[in-house]
A and B are shown apart, each in its own frame.
Chain A
Amino acid sequence: MFRFSRFLLLACAAGYMVCAAPVLAADTLMMATTTSTQDSGLLEYLEPAFKQETGIELKWVAVGTGKALEIAKNCDADVLLVHAPSAELEFVKAGHGVDRRQVMYNDFVIVGPAADPAGVKGQTTAGALKRILDTGAGFVSRGDQSGTHKAEQKLWQQSNITPDKNPKYFSAGQGMISTLNMAAEKQAYALTDRGTWITFADKMGDKNPLAIVVEGDKALFNQYSVITVNPAQCPKVNPALAKKFEDWWVAPATQQKIAGYALKGKQLFFPNADK
């Protein structure tokens, strides 16, 4: 009769044993970063070298740049690896971050239906965006305040267009792959970072309904930087560890590793640390 209750007791005991989790290592840095560095596999590729060369264990949360900066403002991260230069400069100017250093870039591309119904192939970025909306072809936006979304908003601004009210402008509020899927389903255009595009194109194979329509424009340049969360504001941040982290990213050996990272045989990130 008491077997069931005995079982419950046993289950609880087992639960507590499982929960006796291992303790954190001493030298750990918490990094808030953007989804693109994680989803492209770059971080997993670099992390073992970082640990070996600095002895620091790097943990990261990969979220949109907006959220990453917010997490840092609340002192819940020690360092940042993000790609939204104007938001970063504001962040540093407001005293939330110090020691911002550029480490690498990749670029954005505009993709759309392979048949290019809006006829934007070969146009400038501004011209292409205008045509996409004018012809009613449809554009899917991340709409999540991520670095990519911020870059897209800046491009619209530079073209003097406010797309928000346009019924063919879809704000997805989702990650890059989901946004590309939506564009594929809706036969619409989208702005994407090249890394995610390569992954997407590889997954879709021959059935990929999308193709690159605009690329190589200077306006599509996507700069990544590292920032240390201001230790004066967040006492938890260890300045010595953070400095090691920043120095490591701009070190020639690391920069070479970044250049050597390829996805499906294509280089994704181009190192450009200031000397």
Chain B
Amino acid sequence: MDYLINGFSNAFYLLTHMDAATLSAIYATIASTCYAMAAALLLGVPLGFLLGHCSFPGKRAFRLVSDTLLAFPTVLIGLLVYAFITARGPLGEYGLLFTLPGMAIGQAVLALPIVISWTAQALEDLDPRCRETLLTLGANGRQLALYALWECRYAVGMVCVTAFGRVITEVGVAMMLGGNIRYSTRTMTTAIALETSKGDFAQGIALGLVLLLMAFMVNLALAFFKRRGRA
């Protein structure tokens, strides 16, 4: 029990005395999460839109695959991406392993099915009567698509938050592809794993609390903009 209390006091200390190691872990966390989210959103939202808005052959099979990949174990993602970016892999010449971009590739793979499936779901959940009404009013396909896109913007915002939460708290990919290198690819989560393996549970809890605080601030910002957008 002691380490719970120590964890809270350590967290307070960490936040008030930002040392280089913590700052670099925060930076690595934010940078790799940004890379991964940017890639996952750029690829995933259009794909999810196609999947939810249009109909095409193989749509159900595609959706099934995407839904299944929601349960993709992070360590398996790590191993698969490792096979591609290791020096002996097909992408080895780019030297991505044990770097932030390499780590972000794995995290983007993790986030992609979430973005695709949930964006598609958001579009399917739109009120079908609106679509019919718009059609009777003479809307063309392009106008219909724009309407659907605009209507589901908050749902897509929620998709971002969910994917962001999964990526920023993920440890398997970060450990395998980032390598937990000090001042370089050590993220908050791999730092927590390290402190735990060193037996410093209080420090692990402190870092975990700082991570939670970061997630809280991101969500606070989103909530703020959502409210302003609605007003």
Contacts and interface: CB of A to CB of B under 8 A. Distances in A.
Contacts of B97: 76
Contacts of B27: 18
A199 B95 CA distance: 36
Contacts, number: 82
Contact of A18 (B31, B87, B101, B153): B31
A167 interface: no
Given A3-B225, A15-B37, A59-B181, A74 B153 contact: no
Contact of A7 (B38, B101, B179, B225): B225
Contacts of B95: 236
Interface in B187-231: 194, 196-200, 225-226, 228-229
B198 A178 contact: no
Contacts of B180: 61-62
A222 B97 CA distance: 30
Given A61-B179, A74-B86, A178 B30 contact: no
A16 B37 CA distance: 11
B105 interface: no
A75 interface: yes
A39 interface: yes
Given A4-B226, A76-B87, A234-B87, A19 B31 contact: yes
Interface in A63-115: 74-76
A30 interface: yes
A59 B34 contact: no
A16 B34 CA distance: 7
Contact of A61 (B30, B89, B92, B181): B181
B34 A15 contact: yes
B89 to A, nearest CB: 8
A199 B35 CA distance: 37
Interface string B20-45: 00000001001100110110000000
Interface of A: 1, 3-5, 7, 12, 15-16, 18-19, 21, 30, 35, 38-39, 44, 59-62, 74-76, 175-178, 180-181, 196, 199-200, 203, 234, 236
